[in-house]
Structure formats: C-alpha cells, structure tokens
Amino acid sequence: MKRVLIVIGHPYWSRSVANKGIVESLGGLDRNIVFSNIKELYPEGDIDVDAEQKKLLDADVVVFQFPIMWFGAPSLMHKYMEEVFTYGFAYGKGGDNLKGKQFIVSFTAGAPEDAYSATGAEGYTMDEFMPPISALAHYCSMHWAGYVGSYGMMNPSPERCSAHASRLLDKIDSI
C-alpha cells in the first residue's frame, strides 16, 4: 500500500469548510495517509523542518492540499516549501531524498471553473497557474502527477467535499 503524506496549507484552517471537509473525508478511510496540517502544528509559524523532512522521507506520494489564493498556493504553503525543501535534502548536492516520489496538488477554488479560462474572470486556465508548483516537483526530481481541483467551493456540501476526496484517491491509486 502506498504511503501518502498530505501537507495541508490552509492559512485560515479554523474557518475552512472545503479543505476541512476534504481532509475529514480522507481521514475516515482505512488508508496509509499521514496528515501534516501546517497551521495546526505550527500556529506561530515555526516549522519543525526535521520532523517535516522525516514525513517526506517516509512517503511514496506527497500531496499538497490548499485553497487557491491570489492565483496560487497561499503564503503558508510557500513557507513550507522554502523551509522544508532545502538544499542538500530536496535538491542540490546530496539532495536527492525526494527523487522518484509522486507529487500531487489538491486544491479548492472559490470561483467557478469557467472563471479559469482565457475569457473568464481570472483570465487564465488553472493549467497556467500550476507551473511554479510543478517546477518544484521537477527541481526536486519528483514525479509531477498533476492536480485534483474543485471549483465554486466557498460553501460546499459535504457531498462535494467527499467527491473531491474520492477523485484524489482515484488519482493516487492510478499512479
């Protein structure tokens, strides 16, 4: 069974509906999933780099779970990337610890899906917003396995959160 690490990067976790619903749907399953909720674990922002790197080492699949904020991952998720994906660990000389691991992004967006088009309100497709994150996978010799996204998720039903979780599990199972 694949060992899955889901790194949750929601900066307003206490107010989350969609991301929290997705995580709750996943947490109730009989799967080998470890959750690392950055906001809950490190409320003051002091990430335990050694602990987070150990979780990455133990995983076969790494999933970043977050809401789209200002056209990408929130600053909390970037802080995690900057502090945990270090030279000598994730890239550079001796930094091949993540080589070959599968990497998936799982996101929610408040705007409807048709907003993410050349003619939509956002002016770009979601595929055009993903290169900085897929580049992280490439730079760290991980396999970019793509993303699972749900749109119009401002106040989703539990069924919509569960459907997202199911699509994420399907993606994990397919790699």
The per-residue pLDDT string of the chain (175 residues; one tens digit each, 9 = 90 and over) reads: 899 999 999 999 999 999 999 999 998 777 899 999 999 999 999 999 999 999 999 999 999 999 999 999 999 999 999 999 999 999 999 999 999 999 999 999 999 999 988 888 888 889 999 999 999 999 999 999 999 999 999 999 999 999 999 999 999 999 9
- Provide Rg for the chain, Cα atoms: 15
Percent of the chain with pLDDT over 70: 99
First to last CA, the chain: 12
Average per-residue pLDDT for the chain: 95
Count the Cβ atoms, other than its own, within 10 Å of residue 112. Answer: 13
Report which residue type is found at 88: G
**Cα dihedral 133, 139, 140, 146 sign:** positive
Query: What CATH number does residue 49 fall under?
Result: 3.40.50.360
Pairing between β-strand 4-8 and β-strand 33-37 as defined by DSSP bridges: parallel
**Rounded Cα distance, 8 and 107, in Å:** 10
Strand pairing report for 102-108 and 61-67: parallel
Closest CA to 116 of 108, 133, 136: 108
Global pTM?
0.95
Contact 18, 69 (CB under 8 A): no
Q: What's the CA dihedral at 30, 33, 37, 42 to 10 degrees?
A: 120
Domain that holds residue 94: 4-174
Long-range pairs for 24-30: beta carbons < 8 A, 24 or more residues apart: 24/161, 25/158, 25/161, 25/162, 25/164, 25/165, 25/166, 26/165, 26/168, 26/169, 29/169
Question: For the chain, what is the domain count?
Answer: 1
Q: What is the pLDDT of residue 10?
A: 97
Strands 61-67 and 143-150, bridge-based pairing: unpaired
